Amino acid sequence: MKSLQILVISQYWYPENGVPQRRWGWLSEILKEQGHSVTVVAPPAHYDRRMSFPRWVKARGFLPRKESELGPSGERIVRSGFFPGGTSLTVRAFNQAAVALGSLQVLLTAGASLKGYRPDLIFGTVPALPTSAVTWLASKRFQAPYVIDLRDAWPDLLEESDSWNEGTGKKSFRQRVLSFGFFQIVSWLTQRVLYRSMREADAIISTSSELAKDLRQRVVLMRNGTTPPVYTIRNVFPVATKLKTNSNLDTSGALRVLYAGTIGRAQDLQNAVDALRLCIQQGVDVRLRFVGSGAAKSELQRISKDLGSAVSFEPRHPANSLEEYYQWADTALVHLADWEPLRRTVPSKVYELMEAGIHISAVVQGEAASIITGLNAGTVVRPNDPNALAELWTQLVREPKGLEVSDSGAIWVKKQRSAETPRTLRKIISTVAK
């Protein structure tokens, strides 16, 4: 296979440390190992920092950086302009739109950092959703094939917009005003743009086999009988935490439950708090520890005030500093809302916990539930049913042997990472970049 110039367009990149950044840092390293050169267009790290509007203007954050950077996987990073981020849907929408325009400015003007650059292949990572349009336009600009990396079940998740703020308390005045017509128009337009970019893509990447299957069926209809190939590359990127699991199955009459991840809209973690309250009412000693941040955290803290020391909240920690928490936990909670599109989603935390050998208390459906059950990695209960989750935790307190998990999950994850993903990337490149 010849060496290619590969362009990646993303709204999230190093040194930020979320799932999209870790996924594409890992994929960039594989591409480099296969002999390709990777150039990235992405904004500076700003999603986890609060930046006031005056400070953003003073720092000229709306302008691209003149000089490129070298990333940890050997990729060249060209920084675009951005708009300060935030947790509200309105601010995030403005942020994503501004970053998309900033990326277009970099790509269409081809300034100093990209002068004379011509990619052989373009990858666009979604979310953020506007990236799909930028990728399509970049393909036209450079006359190069492109691949859409679709991380979640978009645009189907837009259909759940009425439930997005259920876990965050009341909608803000701004959100209530914008929800009358404006959001529906933006949502419709976003869906059309995303469908158009997928329809004309040379290939699509999904993160689950069920999502891939759904896309194949849907895109066939959009293309009137022809379809771009759809591949699955799971979020099995290397785990930064040193994996030393707690093998003591004697819970001593108490169960320690860890939730380490995003405390956001799609997690519906109020269900877990309700389950904890039921355990306390029944005299079952369960300790629930939340480690993370997100739009729903403040509301979750508010409704947990009456639970005392049974529940605790801690800030988000870097992915490489969770060893202490994994050692503490008897079981780890993976939790998704009862939204139909999430049946085609497998949280990356599932793979991390399987590799660590930690029992998973899973409140999920669809493919995630099948993987956890099939690989004996934990116990699955249905979403939006705190009684079922409380019963699971009660059973684990009474019979700690239920915390035992098979090593088949860890073996499967490592195979996906070391063999399946590099093979799939080679296949995509050989198919698309002819």
> The CATH number of the domain where 395 resides is what?
3.40.50.2000
Helix (H), strand (E) at residue 150: strand 146-150
Whether residue 9 is found in the same domain as residue 153: yes
Whether residue 117 is found in the same domain as residue 213: yes
Q: Which two tokens stand for residue 368?
A: 């995630």
The backbone region for 187, taken as left when phi is positive above 0, alpha when psi lies in -120 to 50, beta otherwise, is: alpha
Q: How large is the average pLDDT for residues 397-403?
A: 94
Question: What's the confidence (pLDDT) of residue 115?
Answer: 81
Cis peptide upstream of residue 15 (ω within 30 degrees of 0): yes
Q: How large is the average pLDDT for residues 347-363?
A: 95
Query: Residue 178: is its pLDDT beyond 50?
Result: no
Q: How many CB atoms within 10 Å of residue 18?
A: 15
Q: Which of 239-243, 371-375, 417-421 bottoms out in mean pLDDT, i.e. has the lowest?
A: 239-243
Whether residue 50 is found in the same domain as residue 85: yes
Higher pLDDT pick, 422 / 247: 422
Number of domains in the chain: 2
For all residues of the chain together, what is the average pLDDT?
83
% of the chain exceeding 70 in pLDDT: 75
199 confidence band (pLDDT: 50, 70, 90): confident
Q: Which of 123-137, 216-230, 325-339, 369-383 bottoms out in mean pLDDT, i.e. has the lowest?
A: 216-230
% of the chain exceeding 90 in pLDDT: 53
63 confidence band (pLDDT: 50, 70, 90): low
Q: Which of 101-110, 277-286, 313-322, 383-392 bottoms out in mean pLDDT, i.e. has the lowest?
A: 101-110
Higher pLDDT pick, 59 / 301: 301
Whether residue 184 is found in the same domain as residue 260: no
DSSP 179-226: TTTHHHHHHHHHHHHHHHHHHH-SEEEESSHHHHHHHHHHHHHHTTT-
378 confidence band (pLDDT: 50, 70, 90): very high
Question: What's the confidence (pLDDT) of residue 185?
Answer: 60
288 confidence band (pLDDT: 50, 70, 90): very high
Higher pLDDT pick, 371 / 89: 371
Is the residue at 423 inside a domain? Answer: no
Q: Which of 73-77, 219-223, 260-264, 367-371 bottoms out in mean pLDDT, i.e. has the lowest?
A: 219-223
Whether residue 102 is found in the same domain as residue 24: yes
Is the residue at 432 inside a domain? Answer: no
193 confidence band (pLDDT: 50, 70, 90): confident
Is the residue at 175 inside a domain? Answer: yes
Whether residue 204 is found in the same domain as residue 260: no
Q: How many CB atoms within 10 Å of residue 111?
A: 14
Query: Residue 64: is its pLDDT beyond 90?
Result: no
Q: How many CB atoms within 10 Å of residue 71?
A: 20
Is the residue at 269 inside a domain? Answer: yes
Residue 374, judged by CB atoms within 10 A of its CB (0-12, 13-18, 19+), counts as exposed
Query: What is the sign, positive or negative, of the torsion defined by CA atoms of 321, 324, 325, 326?
Result: positive
Higher pLDDT pick, 224 / 239: 239
Question: What's the confidence (pLDDT) of residue 186?
Answer: 59
Whether residue 391 is found in the same domain as residue 284: yes
Domain ranges, residue 117:
5-232
Whether residue 140 is found in the same domain as residue 65: yes
Q: Which two tokens stand for residue 413?
A: 């994850």
Instruction: Tell me how far CA of residue 197 lies from CA of 40, 129, 148, 149, 366, in angstroms.
Output: 19, 10, 8, 11, 27
Collapsed DSSP state (helix, strand, coil) of residue 266: coil
Is the residue at 425 inside a domain? Answer: no
Query: Residue 241: is its pLDDT beyond 50?
Result: yes
Q: Which of 117, 134, 97, 107 is nearest to 5 (CA)?
A: 117
Question: What's the confidence (pLDDT) of residue 14?
Answer: 86
Question: What's the confidence (pLDDT) of residue 130?
Answer: 78
Q: How large is the average pLDDT for residues 184-191?
A: 63
- pLDDT tens-place string over residues 28-43: 999 999 999 999 998 8
Whether residue 43 is found in the same domain as residue 164: yes
Q: Which two tokens stand for residue 100?
A: 């998309």
Q: Which of 56-70, 71-85, 148-162 has the highest mean pLDDT?
A: 71-85
- Whole-angstrom distance, CA of residue 4 vs CA of residue 20: 23
Is the residue at 158 inside a domain? Answer: yes
- pLDDT tens-place string over residues 315-326: 887 766 788 899
Q: Which of 84-88, 190-194, 418-422 bottoms out in mean pLDDT, i.e. has the lowest?
A: 84-88
Query: Residue 116: is its pLDDT beyond 70?
Result: yes
163 confidence band (pLDDT: 50, 70, 90): very low
Question: What's the confidence (pLDDT) of residue 107?
Answer: 82
Whether residue 381 is found in the same domain as residue 278: yes
Helix (H), strand (E) at residue 313: strand 311-314
Whether residue 140 is found in the same domain as residue 283: no
| Total-model pTM | 0.87
Whether residue 207 is found in the same domain as residue 354: no
Higher pLDDT pick, 100 / 163: 100
Higher pLDDT pick, 321 / 416: 416
Is the residue at 80 inside a domain? Answer: yes
Query: Residue 109: is its pLDDT beyond 80?
Result: no
Helix (H), strand (E) at residue 125: strand 121-126
Query: Residue 266: is its pLDDT beyond 60?
Result: yes
